[in-house]
Amino acid sequence: MEIRHFSDSWLLPLHKAFISAFSENEVPFNPSRKHFEKRILYKLNISRQLSAIAIENNEILGFTLHTHNYYGGESTIYNGGMGIVPQERRNSIGLQLFEFCYPRFKETNAKRVILEVITTNKPALSFYEKMGFTFTQTFKCYKNSSPNFSSYNKDVAVHEVDDWNPRRYRHMKSFEPSFIDSDEQIPYNIRNEIILEAKDDDQRVGFIILQPETGRISQFAIDVEARGKGIGKRLLRESLRFCKRNELTILNIPESERETNEGLIAMGFKNQVDQYEMQLAL
């Protein structure tokens, strides 16, 4: 078996290994090849030199995928996926991948490594704790499989925005999104997302950033003075016109954000799974 840096020539085998590695998850993740490539190359904006794959007989047995950006004001390496194919999980491949990448982490100016792990994935939690990761917060992940936003606000205007300018929306947010949907990370995938704004008397009162191919919401907020008026439902209803499936998901809402969590549940979203955010100081 060989451990090496990731390169784009391994995208197809990585897709196969990714599906195999996450096939037994509480919520199986089975993206199409096209969606997977967009996720890795753009949404994650993978750093090839900070990522690694374990190869044998031209097949990937394990992988760890990283990018590097600022998060919460700190230079941060983010793990966007680590997995081992089921038949190889007792062969210490995860440890070998981590040991291969760690010196590369130290060569950057990053202060920490961040990742998310499903709270019920005990083997993964045990592994990361042994590597020195500690818990930072708990995230709720939601899905709405049959959206029905009938009581929406018909008076606000909703329109698509062509450019990404996070300064327009920061005052609306009750919390900062997780790494993968942060203001710093959004530009890498903006070609695959749309931005909708809600305006009342020409005043911005809400926005949503959405990946229309998957129905995945990257950011969503209503101005604090405009909440409880059906504007969120209006934005969600309008976003469905751009979606290729009648389904919406929104991930990594901090458990501590009671108002947001209760609002999503009231609009028909169901809590699919919870994740821990964990970090390792470098």
Walk along the chain (282 residues) in steps of 10 and give the mean pLDDT of each run.
96 95 77 94 98 96 98 97 92 95 96 97 95 97 88 88 94 96 97 96 95 96 93 93 92 96 93 97 98
pLDDT of residue 153: 81
- In a domain, residue 115? The reply is no
The amino acid at residue 79 is N
pLDDT attached to residue 180: 98
Which CATH number characterizes residue 70's domain? 3.40.630.30
pLDDT at 128 (0 to 100): 97
Shared domain for 102 and 177, answered yes or no, is: no
Shared domain for 105 and 159, answered yes or no, is no
Do the beta carbons of residue 102 and residue 50 sit within 8 Å? no
Is residue 216 a contact partner of residue 244, using CB atoms and an 8 Å limit?
no
User: Domain range for residue 85?
Assistant: 2-110
Q: What pLDDT sits at residue 28?
A: 67
- What pLDDT shows up at residue 151? 80
172 and 259 assigned to the same domain: yes
Same domain, yes or no: 204 and 157:
yes
Using an 8 Å Cβ cutoff, are 141 and 274 in contact?
yes
| 269 and 167 housed in the same domain | yes
The number of domains in the chain is: 2
Q: What is the pLDDT of residue 219?
A: 98
In a domain, 106, yes or no: yes
pTM to 2 decimal places: 0.94
Q: What is the pLDDT of residue 90?
A: 83
**pLDDT for residue 148:** 79
Q: Could you identify the residue written with the tokens 């045990």?
A: 126
Same-domain status, 57 and 171: no
pLDDT value, residue 163: 92
